[in-house]
A and B are shown apart, each in its own frame.
Chain A
Amino acid sequence: MTHLTEEQLFAYREGETTQREAIAGHLTSCTACRTELDRMEAVLSALDNLPVPERGPEYGRAVWQQIAPRLPERAGRGWRTWLEPRRWVAIGAMAAVIAAAFVAGRWSKPKDAGSPAASVAQVRERVLVVAVGEHLGKSEMVLMELANAAPPASGQKQINISAEQRRAEDLLDANRLYRETAQHDGDAALADVLDDLERVLLDVAHSPQELTPAKLESLQKRIEAHGILFKVRVVGKELQEKGKTPNSAPPAKESEKRERNKA
């Protein structure tokens, strides 16, 4: 009888041989080959016990402290992202919103407007109110569609969410811009909602395109867990109402922002 080679035995152990059944059959009748396999196993098992020094739960933090001062400043990839052709549609839409808001600002300019600076700030506020309101409306639609998506019909194993993903990706850049603006303007409540929304949009954008019922349910639970739909709906409505009012209150409504932040 010809015995198995060491390579055959190793391939069998690793589950990487096409002759699996033949080798298994040989091993049941050949003590020498079985012993050879045992010896190989004994060495590999012994190596399993070779310890690795423990690193405590604080190790990650320690590594960060070591490397943080050595990390170069990153400019952010905003400009590169904007050059992607897919983003041009989003840029166009945002430009149209801003232009419309600007024109609306000029048309509805109250006769008793105060100083020119106040007027510019008012227009800027209107632009933001209109644009963010619309942005939240669009985001709400995407999230609603996902939250209410039915599991795949019987016979279909997965559901395709690529369309929602593309829309989520397009909304992400605008969201980031509005969040930064809200932070800059000290509107912490709006910035928080946009921050939560950004996480959920990223979550959607990075999910697989094809979802099993379990994964769809898990995504829906994550959307629910953030309570983001409710927040987006409330703030979006508030902003849209504000955008419709021609002579909305002056921009420097610190008291209103403070109230919202408190809430």
Chain B
Amino acid sequence: MSQSAGSTQDREALQSAARESDAIAVERTLAGERDAFRSLVERHSQQLFRLAYRMTGNEHDAEEVVQEAFLRAYKNLGQFGSRANFGTWAYRIAANYAIDRMRQKRTEEARRQTPSALAEEQEQDPLDLVPDERPTPDRVAGNLELRKKMEEALKELSSSERTAFVMRHWEGCAIEEIAAVLKSTTSAAKNTVFRSVQKLRRALEPYVGARGALQAKAAGAAPEPRGTEL
């Protein structure tokens, strides 16, 4: 227990040291030392890439989001309160830019998509929708298939839903932080997170929820109403 307390303290000390050196780099950049910005870029690129990739779903877009986020951060550094955390601020810029980019891409794709292509896309093989409960004849292929399904399910989310889900589930952001990026209230942000989870469940449960479903059948649970009464 004391060990875990120690490691928490170490982590806090490291985070605090990183924030302090960020603050120094920000001050120096503002004082005209352009190279001081380099340490900020080198320190936060990986984190921003992870967020951008999860939001956009492809490497090329993610890299562009990272670069644009740092360019915007540099241009607006004067507006940044130096007592705040640079990492969080840059993260928010990247999330906002990724949302804009996703929306723009969707609009362009919708414009390009011909009605025949749309119909073709909708004509899905019904067998694809049947959950495969076989005992993994080819585990690798199965994993790849599941990965593809997950990517598709994420793609089906609206840009706000995807942002909310990525920030909450993968990045562990607070609801207030998500609300700030989505420019919404906290209760609306909470709803958006929940909606995204609902949609992902509907899309993915046939592929991953077999264990739970079997358990329910085995227990002979009758389809009872779901409500608020406890």
Contact = CB atoms under 8 A, between A and B. Distances in A.
Contacts of B213: 35, 39
A38 interface: yes
B208 A46 contact: yes
Interface string B38-53: 1001111110011001
Interface in B184-230: 190, 194, 197-198, 200-201, 204-205, 207-209, 211-213, 215-216, 219, 221-222, 224-230
B106 interface: no
Contacts of A220: none
Most-contacted residue by chain B among A45, A64, A72 (CB, 10 A)? A64
Q: What is the predominant secondary structure among interface residues of chain B facing chain A?
A: helix
Contact of A43 (B194, B209, B215, B222): B209
A5 B226 contact: yes
B211 A10 contact: no
B52 to A, nearest CB: 10
B175 to A, nearest CB: 8
B180 interface: no
Contacts of B169: 44, 47
Contact of B20 (A40, A176, A203): A203
Interface of B: 9, 13, 16, 19-20, 23-24, 27, 29-32, 34, 37-38, 41-46, 49-50, 53-54, 59, 63, 66-67, 70-71, 74-75, 77-78, 82-83, 146-147, 150-151, 169-170, 175, 190, 194, 197-198, 200-201, 204-205, 207-209, 211-213, 215-216, 219, 221-222, 224-230
21 contacts: A2-B230, A5-B226, A5-B227, A16-B190, A35-B212, A42-B208, A43-B209, A46-B204, A46-B208, A47-B200, A50-B150, A51-B147, A59-B45, A60-B41, A63-B67, A64-B42, A67-B70, A72-B74, A74-B34, A77-B31, A202-B20
